[in-house]
Amino acid sequence: MNTEKLRSRGDSAGFNGALAFSMDYKTGNTEYLNYGIAGRADLRTDWFLLFFIGEFRFISKDNDPFSRRGFYHARFNTDISEGVVYELFAQEESNRSTNLQDRWLAGTGLRIHLLGNRDFDTYIGTAYMYEYERLSSWTQGVESPISRYHRWSNYLVFNISLNEHVAFLST
């Protein structure tokens, strides 16, 4: 998942958080249950930014679960010089609908502010990541496929704010 859209845009120090819960239950010929919880917590000081984002969703039909997914991302940022940010991050994801039992990744890298002002910013970044992925087994008694990868992620970001309600972000 491209996590650029998850970044906090504010720059004032302090703690900020949000939590949301949703639930939908229908009954009749079939029983349908869909619930989810999502949250975010940001801690910004003069020295660092730490944020955590999590989301869990579960859907069942006639008490038979057919969709369960979770996504959790934590990131630590600190300025190491003017316009250069060091990042450390970890992420976990699961999605029953796509047979993804577990995906864990952890990484570290640099993010460099190339140019910008109040309405426009450009960044370039590079990061090393280690990724572990296990798929759900399709056949009972068969070992689940597991992948382990060392990855090098490189990206360029354009962020244009047209006004306080409309922004364009491209990674």
Tens of pLDDT, residues 45-72: 999 999 999 999 998 888 887 788 999 9
pLDDT along the chain (171 residues), means of 10: 64 87 91 92 93 92 84 96 96 88 95 90 96 79 82 94 86 88
Instruction: Tell which residue, 95, 44, 57, 50, has the closest CA to residue 76.
Output: 50
123-136 per-position pLDDT tens digit: 999 999 999 999 88
